[in-house]
Amino acid sequence: MLSLSAHSPLVFIGCGVAAALGCNGAVPDGAYVATALAFGGVIVAMAYSIGNVSGCHVNPAVSLALFMDKRLSAKDLCGYIVAQVLGAFAGGLLLLPLLGVESGLGANGLYEGNIALSLLVEVVLTFIFVTAVLGATDRASNAGTAGLAIGGSLTLVHLMGIHFTGTSVNPARSLAPALLVGGASLSCVWVFIVAPLVGGALAAVVYRALADKEEQA
């Protein structure tokens, strides 16, 4: 599946830039901005290279929202999620010999050790990002600009979220580094699986309600 091959560069480049530059959410430096741009940029590249073939599904939270919006079948949802996780893990494995486990591989972490705040941040950021994806892909007329809108949205949520959690908004992107790094990253990875899925589901419900009202107006 192309989702597997697409998710490899997302983790390899996005998490790789964060780890290689030593991105520290507490320090608003060049590494912080570069990491946000890396995640957004790789999505733009993937959207315009394979988007017309597979839809560029690289995020389980987005796939769940599309399933809830009846744009994706249950069979395809399961297939995409498996491919997304495997692709993310492949990207992480590529980083291991280059950066080593000690680099952290761009794994996420709790904000000041607070589970509730970390869940809140990730739910809100995922809601914003997935809503943007749903809107950008809802009409065929948006096809030419959807990739830029999605990549730009991902960059923005990273600019906001890196300080707090390192920004996940993508369960597969978080699971792979956590499994490879272990320790504290693995013990809290459930937060970065649950929160994006909740945020994605909420986005699907709210977006459909707003879209239905617009159609009835």
Q: Summarize pLDDT for 6-46 with one digit per residue, the tens.
A: 668 899 999 999 999 999 888 889 999 999 999 999 999 98
Residue numbers of the domain that contains 129: 2-216
Determine the Cα–Cα distance for residues 181 and 102; give it in Å rounded to an integer.
Answer: 8
What is the reported pLDDT for 100? 95
Is residue 38 a contact partner of residue 44, using CB atoms and an 8 Å limit?
A: no
The alpha carbons of the chain give a radius of gyration, in whole angstroms, of 16
Determine the Cα–Cα distance for residues 134 and 30; give it in Å rounded to an integer.
Answer: 31
What is the reported pLDDT for 8? 84
Q: Summarize pLDDT for 189-206 with one digit per residue, the tens.
A: 999 999 999 999 999 999
Give 62's contacts (C-beta < 8 A, 6+ positions apart).
130, 133, 200
pLDDT in tens, the chain (217 residues): 555 556 688 999 999 999 999 998 888 899 999 999 999 999 999 888 876 666 677 899 999 999 999 999 999 999 999 999 999 999 999 999 999 999 999 999 999 999 999 999 999 999 999 999 999 998 877 778 999 999 999 999 999 999 999 999 999 999 999 999 999 999 999 999 999 999 999 999 999 999 876 666 5
Max CA pair span of the chain:
57
The total of structural domains in the chain comes to: 1
Residue 179 maps to which CATH number? 1.20.1080.10
First and final CA of the chain: distance in angstroms? 40
Comparing CA positions, the residue from 9, 22, 185 lying closest to residue 103 is 22
What's the whole-number average pLDDT of the chain? Answer: 92
Determine the Cα–Cα distance for residues 102 and 91; give it in Å rounded to an integer.
Answer: 17
What is the reported pLDDT for 217? 57
